[in-house]
């Protein structure tokens, strides 16, 4: 009976906790925040009249603009397009990278993405820690989102733009800039804060990086989490609908945003810019020119969701199904940027895991390498590897295909919906789910005839033109044009 009482007490406590959180959230969002926003709106409206200016100002919210990933390519590509199109705009980037000066950031943009920009003003944000997941071990999504409002308010106080564009997906900042700052709102969402797939995982009690094993094993905790997710999804939809223009980066993201935000008429699918032009011009090297080494190339930041451990387990499985002679020719090259100490710790863990699996002699780590070296690695590679579940799009997948790599991506998200075709006759790559399936596909590619590989490579290269930087620039300017139209008095 004592065990039953403990269980019932735990369920009762959790129910009370979730109910209390729901009440507090409702009070905050429906009463306190609107009153607070009305007060500050009066202040910002007066401030805007006092600071009337000739040039249009654009504030772009990207707290991690120095990270060097695919999201940052969208940011700098958008700025480059705006600078080309509009000569009378003043662009401000809200960033939390307080330890990097503007010159260093723009130099990194040129080095990493080969994008040359005119001077851009940076507004430094000192409250970025409030949007970091590590600060919230419980109710992470909700607390991060509320933290983003705090960070957004710091940004708005520092600079009040005419047009506000969020390029990281912080939807909870939209009502702040729209109703307090009087801005027009543009949104570019790479990955929805919550998706129906996340709800499905909790409902099915699947263990993942955002569904802890303890919760997945307990039906009562899973039910409580579903209720919390559904409440959050409703609030998230309210916030997202404050945007005037909604841009999404893939069919997968578009489906989830339309499902939750429910504003399909102002939602536009805009594939991110992929630097395919230079990669697609690379000559395809023969096996002899590559030294008869089968290089499997992965390009991904060392973040948990990129699932580098799966890549090492793939190598472990591969070793058991190919000959020792073939194994000695295989190299896994892990290329990615390290943003902070957490990323560096993950790399060290991956190196230790490769030793534990006895594949370390066939694995290379290349961190924060220049773009020129990245191109060379892609040219020397034979196979491209992608392991993230529900990747929102997959810029690295596109770029590897453009470089002539035979791509194997996770059978989910953007790679499945938008990028890779697996049907015979028009095949541009492969899709897989677990380590065994990946390993079997790699073994198949190793034993392919050169002409079979060439057929897939050529089809892949021909298919990625729709993801070019030029296409992104043209579609981005067309989509955001309404934000620049004069307001009707």
189 with 293, same domain: the answer is no
252 with 283, same domain: the answer is no
Residue range 348-380, pLDDT digits in tens: 999 999 999 999 999 999 998 888 898 899 999
Residue range 112-164, pLDDT digits in tens: 888 999 999 999 999 999 999 888 887 888 889 999 999 999 999 999 999 99
Q: d(Cα 102, Cα 214) in Å, to the nearest integer?
A: 45
Residue range 395-404, pLDDT digits in tens: 899 999 999 9
The CATH number assigned to the domain holding 307 equals 3.40.50.2000
The more confident residue out of 308 and 488 is 308
Q: Which of 107-111, 163-167, 192-196 has the highest mean pLDDT?
A: 163-167
258 with 287, same domain: the answer is no
249 with 303, same domain: the answer is no
Number of folded domains that form the chain: 2
Mean pLDDT of 261-277: 93
Residue in the structure block whose two tokens are 């499902």: 259
Residue 115, helix vs strand vs coil: coil
Residue 204 inside a domain? The answer is yes
Residue range 10-42, pLDDT digits in tens: 544 544 555 455 555 555 555 555 555 555 555
Q: Which two three-digit tokens encode residue 90?
A: 């003043």
Q: d(Cα 455, Cα 293) in Å, to the nearest integer?
A: 20
202 with 268, same domain: the answer is yes
Give the per-residue SS3 of 412-475: CHHHHHHHCCCCCCCCCEEEECCHHHHHHHHHHHHCCCHHHHHHHHHHHHHHHHHHEHHHHHHH
Residue 432 inside a domain? The answer is yes
Residue 163 inside a domain? The answer is yes
Residue range 273-326, pLDDT digits in tens: 988 888 888 888 888 888 889 999 999 888 888 999 999 999 999 999 999 999
The more confident residue out of 201 and 146 is 146
Q: What is the pLDDT of residue 86?
A: 93
Q: Which two three-digit tokens encode residue 67?
A: 């990270």
The residue segments making up the domain with residue 286 are: 276-467
The answer to whether 274 and 467 are in contact (CB under 8 A) is yes
Per-residue pLDDT for 111 more than 90? no
The answer to whether 363 and 315 are in contact (CB under 8 A) is yes
The CATH number assigned to the domain holding 231 equals 3.40.50
226 with 318, same domain: the answer is no
């Amino acid at each position: 009976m004592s065990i039953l009482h403990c269980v019932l007490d735990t369920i009762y406590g959790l129910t009370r906790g979730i109910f209390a959180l729901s009440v507090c959230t409702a009070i905050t969002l429906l009463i306190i925040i609107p009153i607070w926003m009305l007060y500050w709106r009066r202040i910002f409206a007066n401030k805007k009249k006092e600071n009337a200016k000739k040039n249009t100002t654009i504030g772009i919210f990207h707290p991690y603009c120095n990270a060097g990933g695919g999201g940052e390519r969208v940011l700098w590509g958008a700025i480059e397009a705006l600078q080309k199109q509009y000569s009378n705009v003043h662009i401000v980037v809200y960033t939390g990278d307080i330890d990097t000066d503007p010159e260093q950031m723009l130099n990194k943009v040129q080095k990493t993405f080969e994008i040359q920009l005119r001077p851009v003003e940076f507004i430094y944000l000192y409250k970025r820690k409030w949007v970091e997941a590590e600060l919230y071990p419980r109710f992470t999504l909700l607390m991060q989102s509320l933290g983003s409002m705090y960070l957004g308010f710091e940004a708005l106080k520092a600079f009040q733009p005419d047009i506000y564009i969020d390029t990281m997906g912080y939807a909870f900042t939209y009502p702040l800039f729209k109703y307090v700052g009087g801005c027009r709102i543009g949104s570019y969402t790479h990955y929805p804060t919550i998706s129906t797939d996340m709800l499905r995982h909790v409902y099915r009690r699947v263990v993942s990086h955002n569904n802890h094993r303890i919760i997945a094993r307990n039906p009562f905790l899973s039910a409580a989490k579903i209720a919390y997710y559904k409440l959050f999804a409703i609030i998230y939809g309210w916030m997202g609908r404050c945007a005037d223009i909604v841009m999404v980066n893939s069919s997968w993201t578009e489906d989830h945003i339309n499902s939750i935000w429910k504003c399909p008429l102002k939602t536009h699918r805009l594939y991110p810019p992929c630097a395919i032009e230079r990669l697609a011009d690379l000559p395809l090297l023969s096996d002899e020119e590559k030294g008869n080494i089968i290089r499997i190339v992965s390009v991904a930041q060392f973040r948990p969701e990129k699932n580098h451990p799966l890549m090492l387990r793939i190598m472990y499985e591969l070793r058991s199904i190919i000959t020792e002679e073939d194994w000695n020719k295989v190299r896994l090259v892990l290329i990615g940027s390290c943003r902070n100490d957490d990323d560096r710790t993950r790399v060290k863990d991956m190196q230790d895991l490769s030793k534990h699996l006895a594949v370390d002699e066939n694995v290379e780590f290349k961190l924060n390498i220049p773009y020129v070296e990245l191109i060379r690695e892609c040219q020397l590679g034979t196979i491209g590897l992608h392991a993230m579940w529900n990747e929102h799009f997959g810029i690295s997948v596109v770029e590897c295909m453009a470089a002539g790599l035979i791509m194997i991506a996770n059978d989910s998200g953007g790679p499945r919906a938008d990028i890779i075709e697996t049907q015979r006759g028009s095949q541009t790559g492969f899709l897989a789910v677990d380590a065994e399936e990946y390993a079997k596909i790699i073994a198949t590619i190793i034993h392919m005839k050169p002409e079979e590989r060439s057929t897939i490579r050529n089809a892949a290269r021909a298919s990625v033109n729709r993801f070019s930087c030029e296409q992104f620039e043209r579609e981005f300017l067309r989509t955001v044009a309404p934000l620049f139209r004069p307001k009707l008095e």
